[in-house]
Structure 1
Amino acid sequence: MGVIIAAISAAYFTLYPQDAYAMHIMEGMLPPKWCLFWFAAAAPFFVYGLYRMKRIVTSSQQNAKIMLALCGAFVFVLSSLKLPSVTGSCSHPTGVGLGTVMFGPGVMAVLGVIVLLFQALLLAHGGLTTLGANEFSMTIVGPLVGFAVWKLCRAFKVNRSVSLFLCAMLADWSTYITTAFQLAVVFPDPNTGMWGAAVKFLGIYAVTQIPLAIAEGLLTVIVYNLVISNNLWKESALG
């Protein structure tokens, strides 16, 4: 099912291209030293994600591969729905909450690279040199924050749907907080420096990202509950 969704989405965006405002940070926006820095920072998480993905693929959990594909397609489709935000970037859902709850944050680093590569090469969203930075913000920081929120809420016996909503919403927000600081380091404000630039970036993002994150949280709850109600997945089977 996930593969079919991804294929249909790819065909749509290929046949009907849209003006590219870039997915997260576009090609050429970061100096080479910062591109290398973010690649290096993301590398350990990617390696760990490969280990986690191997366990999932070889596990005895029924439908694991199908659900993995579904989570990847969910990230791809949602993160392709973009709204222009700051120069050289954009606002959009991230879709990482679903996979984070099902499989844990590690595997999202690998799924994120696949999604970001596909979008950079075929949809002109983001870029190859900024792949490390975009991966770090969306599929490393986002899932880690979301997973921590999910586990904390479940430990305090918070309703599952509420826990999932907060996981997806805060994973989205943390992604854009990270992106704002990634841009602020490179483009500091002449008067207030990095922190002043970060506040400006966050202020612009907030206009579009707050309602988007709320909508993403609600959609994630609906999809997850459908999966659970149809006995396609057991809660925390591999997460």
Structure 2
Amino acid sequence: MARDLLVLSGGHAYDRPAFAALLASLGEWDITHLMHPEAEEAVANGRALEADAVLFYDMGGYSFADKWVTSRPPSEAFRRAIVERFASGRGAVAMHHALAGWADWPEWHDMLGGRFLYTPGEVRGVPTLDSGYRHDVEYTASVVADHPVTAGVPATFTVTDELYLAQVFEDEVEPLVRSDYSFDREHFYSAALGISGTLCSNEGWDHPPGSNLVAWAKRVGTAPLVYLQFGDSPVTYANPEVRRLLANALAYIAGDTA
């Protein structure tokens, strides 16, 4: 019997047919794919509590206009539903730009284990520069843990994807996969400059070096959570090792091996 997978997207552009093909490759799942704002409403009404697995591929809470971005927190009902899911011991998988979602809900980033900032702000009370991005990076990914999520994945594999220079709470997560790319300001562009109209620039942006983690696992209370940084483009969606990692992660948080 197929299990129930709830997929949330919206708030960030992506190739819908290619992403649908990725979801179709995952095996025996009965998939409900909802986009914001319907996704937020459905979760607030209890949909996430019913699902065997939840995949966050969304970036909620943002409005982009006039070369800048504004943000808002999720509804209180949405927050309660997510907290309740984790409190019940039921986990989730988050991918790629989910690390930037819900900028005005700090607990979300505590649950994920990291945070991408579009504009300078604070992370856990510390003033922090906006995060960095770099598209179409070809890099070697290395598995660094024997874990159900990495089962069957080669020790090293090649990925072409967007990478982030962002906050990762490494002391609170279990590293799964690392990248050999250089995570320093010379190799990334400022997100704030990008949304202001100056794309692919790091002028005047002195971001410190960051973590090279591109996949990790952690617990939210007793619930399993997996974050996969992969997921920007059709090339990434079609990568067989990315597909394997995602399939393993969903099976893991659904209770197969959690």
Provide the TM-score with structure 1 as the length reference. 0.26
**Structure richer in helix, relative to its length:** 1
- Higher strand share goes to which structure? 2
TM (norm. structure 2) is 0.25
Name which structure has the greater RCO, CA cutoff 8 Å, separation 6+. Answer: 1
